[in-house]
């Protein structure tokens, strides 16, 4: 059975220990390590023999907040998923968290079972955004953003098609089957999308698609 490897970063030791104990009791999860500061985390991730698939980071950190750590992580380890969690959760922060490169933003009072579901979705699909967060993102998008008629000069029709399917949480293999192309071709389109949009991960592609009107709230399914 495939095992998700997790790392936890937070300032509250009790929270870290409780979450670590819960995760290590799950048959599909292994918590590799916990870290109580940005420096501690960076040292451990560099020195550790195994890299985590998903990192869960508290937003309220010092001296930098968790989003800044997520930003560093996204640049150094772009394939690693990142979930930011906060005791002062507010949907107004969604755009800021997404811009950091995080793959999900959750309230700290989330149930352990729900968190486990989100970890699975983020690891498999690349992002998890709740409906209220998507609606908040749309209100945060400036009204003067140009309409999609300029996109045809940037994205090809097939790239737009792939982008819309990615936003609907289809995997590269599933998209390949739908479009009757190879998985390698789909991966090529994904790389082009990252290059053309400037997005760092799938969550960034979702934001781009929303911003440009290529998808709407109903096209972005949530748990």
Architecture of domain 4-137: 3-Layer(aba) Sandwich (3.40)
Task: Encode pLDDT of 136-175 as tens digits.
Answer: 877 766 544 444 443 444 788 899 999 989 888 788 889 9
Give me the mean pLDDT over the 91-103 stretch. Answer: 86
Residue written as token pair 């922060």: 93
Reported pTM: 0.69
Topology match between the domains 4-137 and 142-218: no
What is the token pair recorded at 111? 């149930």
What is the token pair recorded at 61? 């950190």
pLDDT at residue 218 is higher than 80 = no
Whether the upstream peptide bond of residue 145 has omega within 30° of 0, thus cis, is: no
Residue written as token pair 């790389």: 191
Spell out the SS3 assignment of the chain.
Answer: CCCEEEEEECCCHHHHHHHHHHHHCCCCEEEEEEECCHHHHHHHHHHCCCCCCEEEEECCCCCCCHHHHHHHHHHHCCCCEEEEEECCCCHHHHHHHHHCCCCEEEECCCCHHHHHHHHHHHHHHCCECCHHHHHHHHHHCCCCCCCHHHHHHCCCHHHHHHHHHHHCCCCHHHHHHHHCCCHHHHHHHHHHHHHHHCCCCHHHHHHHHHHCCCCCHHHCCCC
CATH of domain 142-218: 1.10.10.10
Measure the CA–CA gap between 152 and 214, rounded to whole angstroms: 11
Per-domain residue ranges of the chain: 4-137, 142-218
Contact 74, 173 (CB under 8 A): no
Task: Encode pLDDT of 167-195 as tens digits.
Answer: 887 888 899 999 999 999 999 998 889 88
């Amino acid at each position: 059975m495939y095992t998700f490897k997790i790392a936890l970063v937070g300032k509250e030791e009790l929270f870290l220990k409780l979450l670590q104990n819960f995760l290590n009791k799950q048959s599909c999860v292994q918590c590799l390590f916990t870290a109580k500061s940005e420096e501690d985390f960076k040292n451990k991730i560099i020195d550790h023999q195994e890299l985590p698939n998903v990192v869960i980071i508290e937003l309220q950190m010092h001296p930098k907040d968790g989003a800044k750590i997520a930003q560093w992580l996204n640049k150094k380890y772009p394939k690693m998923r990142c979930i930011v969690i906060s005791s002062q959760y507010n949907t107004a922060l969604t755009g800021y968290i997404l811009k950091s490169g995080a793959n999900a933003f959750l309230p700290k009072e989330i149930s352990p079972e729900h968190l486990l579901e989100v970890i699975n979705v983020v690891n498999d699909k690349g992002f998890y955004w709740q409906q209220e967060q998507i609606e908040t993102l749309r209100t945060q998008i400036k009204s003067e953003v140009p309409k999609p008629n300029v996109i045809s000069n940037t994205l090809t029709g097939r790239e737009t098609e792939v982008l819309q399917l990615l936003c609907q949480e289809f995997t590269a293999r599933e998209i390949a089957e739908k479009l009757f192309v190879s998985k390698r071709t789909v991966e090529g389109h994904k790389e082009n999308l990252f290059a053309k949009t400037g997005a760092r991960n799938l969550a960034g592609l979702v934001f781009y698609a929303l911003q440009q009107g290529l998808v709407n709230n109903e096209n972005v399914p949530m748990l």
